[in-house]
Amino acid sequence: MRNIKLIRPGLLHIVLAIALCTGYTLTAQLGDLRAQFVEVQASNDNVIPTFYMGKYEIRVSEYRLFLNALGEPFPEPPEYGWDDNLPMVGLSFAEVQNYCNWLTDSYQVQFTVPSEAQWKLAAGTTQDNLESDLNRPMCSDCFSPGESGIYGLNGNVWEWTSTLIDNEFHIIRGGSFLENSTELNVTRSSTISPELQLSDVGFRLLLTDKGMKKYLFSYEVRELLYQLFPEYTNLRVEPYALYIDDFEIAWGEQDFPIITIDTTEKSLAFCCIDAIDGVMEMITKQAINFSFDEDKLPTAQQLVSLINNRDLSIFID
């Protein structure tokens, strides 16, 4: 099996390559995911595996980035108007899915909204004591987090889940600012049609445990490569692969040492590229070498260990 594949970069790859050259990355939408998500441990019976829940409901400012990227106009505001720090509301379930798909393309890990079971596990017995009977929601971080470290699960705005009732209605959870305060608790649920766009229904994101591990692996590899080779713009790291020029080295294809180090010459060799000679009709294996400064040897050794000891299971869908 070939370990390296010659690829023709798609639009996303081209955009990401430009982003590395300019210092701007598409991950600016949510920033570092480590700060935006909370780990929720598996249920006691392991029916629900470990996952990561968004700390906050998606804000107006974050959804605005999405529409700006697509060149789409912002929807009509609710009665209380748009405020960048407030939860994004008024979206159908299809519109929420479109946002998740956009982030998935940007980060190359799968974003969804939680199922009802995942939402309930994350909420636990949280009681935020939010104000209610208001004419608008509060900002996503204007109150203390619940016991899980997640904000706004009890009140503020209802939240979409992916769970359907009778294959027709989506379950929403948590209640909203329009509810009576005596009715607000994390057991609050309702059902709505997926086409509805309500001014007190928002959403938050979910990442699987495997998705977060892929992100963290690629994040750590990227940071080490930037430290070693800040001048190179032909290296690109994604959760599924390392790209050198137009060549792809997939993290999960085989258990082989992708990278070797020469401590004497202070160089790293990324292996192995299939070099195709169209005239001689020959395929030969070659490595691509990068030299690093002597004081970067510990960083280079850390990179070699991280890549060659990677957990292959997280790259298998």
Q: What are the angstrom distances between the C-alpha of 227 and each of 118, 231, 286?
A: 38, 10, 25
At residue 17, the pLDDT reads: 33
DSSP string for 154-179: SSSSEEEEEEEETTTEEEEES--TTS
Q: Judge whether 140 and 151 are in contact, CB under 8 Å.
A: yes
At residue 81, the pLDDT reads: 94
Distance (Å, whole) CA 228 – CA 232: 9
Q: Average the pLDDT over 171-175 and give the result.
A: 93
Q: How confident is the model at residue 191 (pLDDT cuts 50, 70, 90)?
A: very high
For 22-31, 102-111, 257-266, 308-317, which range has the lowest pLDDT when averaged over its residues?
A: 22-31
pTM of model > 0.85 = no
Q: Judge whether 75 and 140 are in contact, CB under 8 Å.
A: no
With a cut of 50, say whether residue 10 has pLDDT above it. Answer: no
Q: Judge whether 170 and 93 are in contact, CB under 8 Å.
A: yes
With a cut of 70, say whether residue 13 has pLDDT above it. Answer: no
pLDDT tens digit sequence for 244-253: 876 778 887 6
Q: Average the pLDDT over 76-99 and give the result.
A: 96
Q: Is 222 helix (H, G, I), strand (E, B) or coil?
A: helix
Domains and CATH numbers, the chain: 4-28+210-310 (no CATH), 31-204 (3.90.1580.10)
Q: Average the pLDDT over 287-303 and give the result.
A: 93
At residue 22, the pLDDT reads: 30
159 Cβ partners below 8 Å, 6+ apart?
A: 57, 113, 119, 153, 172, 173, 174, 201, 202, 203, 204
CB atoms within 10 A of CB 250: 16
Q: Average the pLDDT over 67-86 and give the result.
A: 94
Tokens 């390392």 label which residue?
A: 242
> 62 burial class (0-12, 13-18, 19+ CB within 10 angstroms)?
buried
